[in-house]
Every structure is written in C-alpha cells, then in structure tokens.
Amino acid sequence: MRPSATGAKFFTSPLFARKPLRMRNLNLLAGIAVSAVILTGCAGGPTHDYYNPVVGNAKFKGPVTVAHVDDVAAETDKLLSEGYTLVGSTDYGGKYPESKELTAQAKRAGANHVIYSTKFIPNPPGSWHFSFGQGFGSGGTGGGGYDVHILFFGK
C-alpha cells in the first residue's frame, strides 16, 4: 500500500508496474496476432474442414476447373463415363463456397475438376441469428444457410 497526495492509500501490484518498451510492443503484437486469428477463422473454410478423400495422393495435372451443377449425381455419372476419377468430396451445411476455396482444396487434393451444388435452406420461422462482419454486428430473424455438396475429380 502506498499513500497518495491526498492521504488515501492505493494498492500497487507488480502486474501494473511499468514494463520496458520492448515488452509492451511484444504484448501488443501478440494481442494483434491472436485477434487476427480469431476474426479470420479457419483459412481453409468448410471446403477444407469437411473434406473426405476417396483417392490418396492423387496428382492430376492441369488447371483447375470449377462448375456449379443442379444435379451432382447425374454430373458424377457423366464425368465417370468420360474417364474422370473421383478424388474426394465435401458435404456441409453453412456458408456458400467461394471459388478460391474450391480451387485451393482441389490443388491440395490433387484434383483438376470440381463440381458442386448448393441449396438455400432458410432459418425456421421465429429463429434468431447474430453475426459480425465488416466491423459491424447484425442480427434478426431472416437468414439461413446452404446445403453444399462438392466433388473433386481428376483426369
């Protein structure tokens, strides 16, 4: 305890002691790094997180092509009859897949052709959601997500 100018006593703790400038900068950088990881989430996204390989160590060459299809089963039959090999798949419910996620996962899996289908699933009436984005929070009773089916092929 230390007295103040007015005679009141304050508790001083080593936690609040002045740290050297180098240590304060290190703490600031660590805080920024942790915040960035939390705010950006998983770099691979659900396309990577829910990937199920069918063929291990596939190494098909060529540029990756991506196609949105209405009927994944019919398109799969067509591609298999054309000589394509099924490399892996991803199925999830949530956000709409981004083209860069699909291309990145195809490269990781060794595939060179991706087909996917999406179906919007609205939230049930009376449900509530809240999300953060672009520095602002939003909420309400609307919204929903997507039922996503993605297949990775090689030829």
CATH of region 46-125+142-154: 3.30.110
Position 74 pLDDT exceeds 60? yes
- Contact between 92 and 145 under an 8 Å Cβ cutoff? The reply is no
- Contact between 118 and 147 under an 8 Å Cβ cutoff? The reply is yes
pLDDT confidence bin for 60, thresholds 50/70/90: very high
The predicted structure's pLDDT at residue 6: 61
The predicted structure's pLDDT at residue 138: 58
The predicted structure's pLDDT at residue 147: 94
Give residue 3's region: left, alpha or beta (phi > 0; psi -120 to 50).
Answer: beta
> What are the tens digits of pLDDT across the range 91-119?
999 999 999 999 999 999 999 999 999 99
The predicted structure's pLDDT at residue 123: 82
Instruction: Give the CA-trace dihedral at 122, 124, 126, 131, to 10 degrees.
Output: -50
40 three-class SS: helix
What's the Cα-to-Cα distance from 29 to each of 16, 37, 42, rounded to whole Å?
A: 19, 12, 20
The predicted structure's pLDDT at residue 51: 94
Global confidence as pTM = 0.64
86 C-beta neighbours (distance < 10 Å), count: 16
Q: To the nearest whole percent, how much of the chain has pLDDT over 90?
A: 51
> What are the tens digits of pLDDT across the range 113-154?
999 999 999 888 777 666 666 666 555 556 788 999 999 999
Side chain identity at 77, as an amino acid letter? D
How far, in whole angstroms, is CA 93 from its chain's centroid? 13
76 three-class SS: helix
Domain ranges for the chain? 46-125+142-154
